[in-house]
Amino acid sequence: MGKIIVFGAGGRTGRAAVGEALQRGHHVTAVVRTPAKYRDLDRAGVRLLAGDVTDTDAVAGLAAGVDAAIMAAYDPGAQPDVFFPAAAQALLDGLARAGVGRLVVVGLAATLKTADGTPLMDAPDFPQEYRPLCLAHAAGTAVLRTSDTTLDWLIVSPAGDFDQAEVRSGRYSVGGVNMASRISHNDFAIALLDEIDTPRHYRTHIGVEEA
């Protein structure tokens, strides 16, 4: 049993992560921007709090006494190219200050590289309307990769077809992700929690898809 903080707990991915953590017996701090909108998350085993993931002091205060963190937040009202790098830096600094040992970040499949080293988002047939968001995620990744932090971090990207159905097969595979591969939110949450409970990847970026 551990203590886990989930930034962005109100979204589909965050909710799935909270649910999976509770099933495993963890205590969860669920961070959202407006708790009044997410009262259904306020249940046994969950501490529902307001917080800004781009604020280092807020991150450090919220994460005090926590063992590991999951970053699943997104602010649709913010500029993505500002939000993701700022959040990455605040998490690195704030979690390290709080003594948190592990950070698992939800990434995008489009920022993963293919066998020849080319990001999926650079493929000729990639929808260009999604490119700004992908570049913003990539900028956040760059902050993690170039940091000299002592915090152990990992980026986990779901398959390109991130199915919203409430499927929980309990199976997934690592690697080989492409824009046509699939995974459900619940199975993706299993991958996130596995990398907290029994870490296998460190300071890198992996993709997961249905097995």
CB-CB contact of 119 with 138 (8 Å): yes
What percent of the chain is modeled with pLDDT above 90? 81
- For the whole prediction, is pTM greater than 0.85? yes
Map out the domains of the chain as residue ranges: 3-209
The distance from CA 48 to its chain's CA centroid, rounded to whole angstroms, is 18
What percent of the chain is modeled with pLDDT above 70? 99
Q: Is the pLDDT assigned to residue 176 strictly greater than 80?
A: no
Nearest residue to 32 (alpha-carbon basis) of 20, 15, 19, 44: 15
Angle among Cα 208, 165, 129 to the nearest 5 degrees reads 65
Looking at domain 3-209, its CATH class is alpha beta
Q: State the pLDDT confidence band at 177, using cuts at 50, 70 and 90.
A: low
- Mean of the pLDDT values across residues 13-18? 97
- Mean of the pLDDT values across residues 60-70? 98
Give me the pLDDT at residue 77, please.
87
CB-CB contact of 48 with 99 (8 Å): no
pLDDT tens, residue by residue, 124-160: 888 889 899 999 999 999 999 999 998 999 999 998 8
Tell me the two tokens of residue 189: 């949450």
Q: Is 25 left (phi over 0), alpha (psi -120 to 50) or beta?
A: left
The string of DSSP codes covering 35-89 is: GGGGGGG-STTEEEEE--TT-HHHHHHHTTT-SEEEE----TTS-HHHHHHHHHH
CB-CB contact of 187 with 167 (8 Å): yes
Residue tagged 């996130």 (tokens): 192
Q: Is the pLDDT assigned to residue 70 strictly greater than 70?
A: yes
Tell me the two tokens of residue 192: 């996130």
What is the chain's percent helix, strand, coil content, to nearest 5?
40, 20, 40
pLDDT tens, residue by residue, 28-64: 999 999 999 999 999 999 999 999 999 999 999 999 9
Tell me the two tokens of residue 206: 């992996």
Give me the pLDDT at residue 117, please.
82
